[in-house]
Copies of this chain bind each other. A is one copy, B any other.
Amino acid sequence: MTARAHGSDILVVGSVAFDSIETPSGSVERALGGSATFASVAASYFASPRVVAVVGEDFGDEHFARLERRGIDTSGIKRVPGGKTFHWKGRYHDNMQDRDTLETRLNVFEGFDPGLSERFRRSSHVFLGNIDPTLQAKVLDEVEDPRFVGVDTMNLWIAEALAGLKEVLRRVDVLFINDEESRQLTGERQVLNAARAIMTLGPKYVVIKRGEYGALLFGAELSLFAPAVLLPRVVDPTGAGDAFAGGFMGFVAGAAEITRSTLARAMRAGSAMASFAVERFSIDGLLELDSSRIGARLDDLESMCSLA
């Protein structure tokens, strides 16, 4: 809803990490992960992502290559000589929802100081992955007049960096958050009230992520729902929320304008990308897609929702 020319570029800022994960379906060691990784790969099917992140010297050329093959601009991923990449180690419970963090080594991520190139500053769309709100704000300071900004957050920042988070929320178009976090942030039990309370903090839209139960989008006078794709098997839920946000933001970035229909379709795109993410470990489920496989999932979602 702006006269500005349509741009399908999307700046993605967040973590690029190695994940070591055990789930009831198996395990994986030091696999490519992180919020910026999942979000940018998911977005890459709808728009042109550029990533800002930091990695260590152990992040090999082959890892860059995997992202680049998806058309992702990795020039903003800073490789720190002698440094080690952020490493998260976790184990999921049998319900595939609860998980225990076994180890978190921030490594080079501890000193992450996102700086944007001239070109990146002119990004039309921005997705701020789940990082310290201070860093999210710094990125927003550098981007020139973005058309649409999405932000993710988590319980940690709500508990320990609330003032900073609220500063960021004043400056974004959409917040991605889960049910539990939305209650923590607002004190409201009912999702409708929580979403309304969040919108008073700044975001025009709130997306409530509910895992296998789908996701809701709220705006002024607007409530949209997208179911989760029904899957016979979930291998690893890690990155599902980031893939959802990436699919959503990528779809919006690739759309000519932001209408109700754009948002409804973006929700379905997010749901589809999340479903691919959880079917395999790491980003493996997101790498070899095409418009026909994505379209089949979108058709499934339409069929689930349609009255016809």
Binding site for B on A (CB under 8 A): 94-96, 189-193, 210, 212-214, 216, 223-225, 227, 230-234, 260-261, 264-265, 268, 300, 302-308
Contact = CB atoms under 8 A, between A and B. Distances in A.
Contact of A225 (B223, B305, B308): B305
A99 to B, nearest CB: 15
A189 B212 CA distance: 11
A192 B232 CA distance: 6
B232 A193 contact: yes
Interface of A is mostly: mixed
B223 A303 contact: yes
B190 A264 contact: no
B225 A304 contact: yes
A192 B306 contact: no
A233 B307 contact: no
A184 to B, nearest CB: 14
Nearest to A302: B307
A234 B190 contact: yes
A87 B199 CA distance: 44
A214 B264 CA distance: 18
Contacts of A268: 307
A191 B190 CA distance: 24
29 contacts: A94-B189, A95-B189, A190-B230, A190-B231, A190-B232, A190-B233, A191-B230, A192-B230, A192-B231, A192-B232, A193-B232, A210-B213, A213-B213, A213-B214, A214-B214, A223-B300, A223-B303, A223-B304, A224-B304, A225-B227, A225-B305, A260-B308, A261-B307, A264-B306, A264-B307, A265-B307, A268-B307, A302-B307, A305-B306
